Amino acid sequence: MRRALRFSVLTVCLAFCLTGCSAAIGASASQSGPQRYEATWMDVFDTVTTVVGYAGSEEEFEARAQEFHDEMVEYHQLYDIYNDYEGVSNIKTINDNAGVAPVEVDERIIDLLVFARDMCEATDGKTNAAMGSVTKLWHDARAAAESDANLEGTPPSEDEIAEALTHISFDTIVIDEAASTVFITDPAQSIDVGSIAKGYAVEQAASQFDDLLISAGGNVRAAGTKPDGSLWAVGVQNPDGGSEYAAVLNVTDESVVTSGDYQRYFVSDGVRCHHIIDPDTGYPASLYRSVTIVCPDSGTADALSTALFNLPVERGTEVAQAFDAQVLWIFADGSQQMTDGFAALLRD
């Protein structure tokens, strides 16, 4: 079914976790040239997604934004680990058949899982899409806590986590590219692509455009430039909240992705239990408040933001350099550390 989007000429700066914040242009009869529009929806990857661009008319922009949105819906259904869709074999279908039989899937799932496997190896296993057995424990605990006004909840037990950690090897995920099938040989294991799928999907859907700014939760993809050739401005949210950005960047043909402890979490005995789980311990990582990655590919940036959230700065810097990525680390005390390339992108 075709979903109608909400369109309007921008009159204020966007305000998301990562967002374009260049000067707004309101439509008026006296203005000439392309006008600035935005489209917003909330039906893909469980987040608010916004597309900003310039066009000669609302209808022209709507057609482009709708094309992007419809492709994102397809990726959302294919990469979903929670829901079934008529006629679609997705990640959930693979998980449901763990230890039972291979599942024939769309090549876009094969491509994602091959990419996920490669990123797992490249990041010392810190971005591991094979650790669904662990992330499910924390997801269920967080879901149970959402009914409490203070988000008070109970973490999984040590025994539950220890058992789940014995079922997170990518070696048990058999990807047959020729047959386009995936088989999880361990019946207690499952795939969770939450650390990588959204960025990967944004990159695939955005690759056909050269003049849009796309914000999908903590993932921003800047395609090309504005019509006048100027760069897109992207603000990095301060983990402590408030209206002040931790940094504002000027970018073009880059992805800016942040992983942080301040969005999906519950509280246990005063400790924030967030969703970024260290595969080595089975518990939420505690090195930083947030890590922001800048690199051309959104899927790579998504994977790296999770990995570097779990790695010391020194090793994280080495991993980032292998992908020509730039990094901003924000620590618990609010202090920052960034690579030289990240500093070069800061808006004056």
pLDDT per residue as tens digits for the range 224-272: 889 888 999 999 999 988 778 999 999 999 999 999 998 889 999 999 9
pLDDT of the residue at 241: 82
- Residue 31 pLDDT: 58
Nearest to 271 by CA among 255, 282, 285, 251: 285
CA distance 195 to 77: 16
Provide the residue count of the chain: 348
At residue 65, the 3 state secondary structure works out as: helix
pLDDT (mean) for 334-343:
97
- What's the pLDDT at 2? 36
Q: What is the DSSP string of 67-132?
A: HHHHHHHHHHHHH-SS--BTTB--HHHHHHTTTT--EE--HHHHHHHHHHHHHHHHTTTSS-TT-H
Is residue 279 classed as helix, strand or coil in its secondary structure? coil
For residue 18 the two structure tokens come to 């990562």
Q: Mean of the pLDDT values across residues 307-332?
A: 98
pLDDT at residue 13 tops 90 = no
Task: List, for residues 131-147, the tens digit of each pLDDT value.
Answer: 999 999 999 999 999 98
1 has a pLDDT exceeding 90: no
pLDDT at position 8 over 70:
no
**Confidence (pLDDT) at 243:** 76
Q: How confident is the model at residue 21 (pLDDT cuts 50, 70, 90)?
A: very low
Range 187-207 average pLDDT: 96
Q: What is the pLDDT of residues 268-302, one digit of tens each?
A: 999 999 999 999 999 999 999 999 999 999 999 99
Cα–Cα distance between 47 and 159 in angstroms, integer?
32
Counting Cα atoms < 13 Å in the Cβ hemisphere of 120 gives 23
Q: Which of 150-154, 173-177, 313-317 has the lowest mean pLDDT?
A: 150-154
Report the pLDDT value the prediction gives residue 20, as an integer from 0 to 100. Answer: 30
Identity (one letter) of the amino acid at 283?
Answer: Y
Higher pLDDT, 219 or 210: 219
Tracing tokens 């009869």 back to the chain, one arrives at 29
Taking residues 74-87, what's their average pLDDT? 97
- The whole-number pLDDT of residue 208 equals 84
